[in-house]
Amino acid sequence: MQILYGFILALIVAYLAYRAHSLDKSGAFAATFVGTIVFGVGGWQWAILLLTFFITSSGLSRAFKKRKQGLSEKFSKGHERDAGQVFGNGGLATFFAALHAVYPESIIPWIGFAASLAAVNADTWATELGVLNPTPPRMITHLRKLVEKGTSGGISLWGTLASLLGASVVALPAAWFANNWILLPLITFAGLTGSLFDSFLGATVQAMYYCPTDKKETEKHPLHTCGTETVHIRGWEWLNNDWVNFACGAFGAVAALLML
């Protein structure tokens, strides 16, 4: 029965997000699947964590739109998330919710779930709020090197603080529901390390492209916002932004479970 309630709640949330242009059609189907498992198997506490991530990250993607204009093309996709992005951010959380069904007594699925969401939330907050940093970011692999705002692998003070805040808004209910306050710093820190790992991948092996028309580096492929075909310049071609997000969540989960 709970699965049915989960499905109905997931369908409503996905439909509203689709209508609000936070998800495209494929993203809405993917979110319905993720939501059905998380709400249906986990229950309301799991639902609150997933919704905290979903609502705050979609909200931040829309906020400060004017100040971010011109930067959005650096990011591979607009604020309308597709199925790849939904699974990149929520696929691992779905796995941990399913694991909870198999091991209902274990705290491990809850910690993995919360830490993976804390990491992807930290990453989204850092990306969305980091661009508001007054000075240009620095490359995570080369801290003396200043790069253009929005560059993958760039980090800043604002971005890092946003990342900590983004992780802690997930860690707070996670610790509260588990009635275990060690989880607050543990999951916050795990989320931060996951988002730093995301930046590290962005600076090293994530697939990067170049638009010959605008003479700019971009994550967009095969076509740039201007319609020109982009050319691969560095990184592993299969390692797109969705896989980097997945790795960010996985790193957060592993970090939390190791610290435990």
Q: In sequence order, what are the residues at sequence separation of 6 or more whose Cβ sits closer than 8 angstroms to the Cβ of residue 46?
A: 38, 39, 97, 100, 113
Under the binding rule (CB under 5 A), the answer on residue 223 touching Zn ion is no
Q: How far is the CB of 73 from Zn ion (least distance, A)?
A: 7
C-beta closer to Zn ion: residue 149 or 224? 224
C-beta closer to Zn ion: residue 80 or 214? 214
Q: How far is the CB of 133 from Zn ion (least distance, A)?
A: 25
Under the binding rule (CB under 5 A), the answer on residue 214 touching Zn ion is yes
Under the binding rule (CB under 5 A), the answer on residue 226 touching Zn ion is yes
The window from 83-91, 93-101, 211-219, 244-252 that contacts Zn ion (CB under 5 A) reads: 211-219
Under the binding rule (CB under 5 A), the answer on residue 211 touching Zn ion is yes
Count of residues touching Zn ion (by CB under 5 A): 6
**AA letter at 70:** G
Long-range contact set of residues 211-217: C-beta below 8 Å, sequence gap at least 24: 216/73, 216/74, 217/74, 217/151
The values of phi and psi at residue 236, to 5°, are: -80, 125
DSSP classification of residue 72:
G
Alpha carbons 232 and 5: distance in angstroms, whole number: 45
Under the binding rule (CB under 5 A), the answer on residue 228 touching Zn ion is yes
C-beta closer to Zn ion: residue 73 or 128? 73
Among the residues of 38-107, which ranges form H helices? 44-62, 65-68, 83-102
C-beta closer to Zn ion: residue 36 or 151? 151
Under the binding rule (CB under 5 A), the answer on residue 213 touching Zn ion is yes
The values of phi and psi at residue 93, to 5°, are: -60, -40
Name the residues that contact Zn ion, by CB under 5 A. 211, 213-214, 224, 226, 228
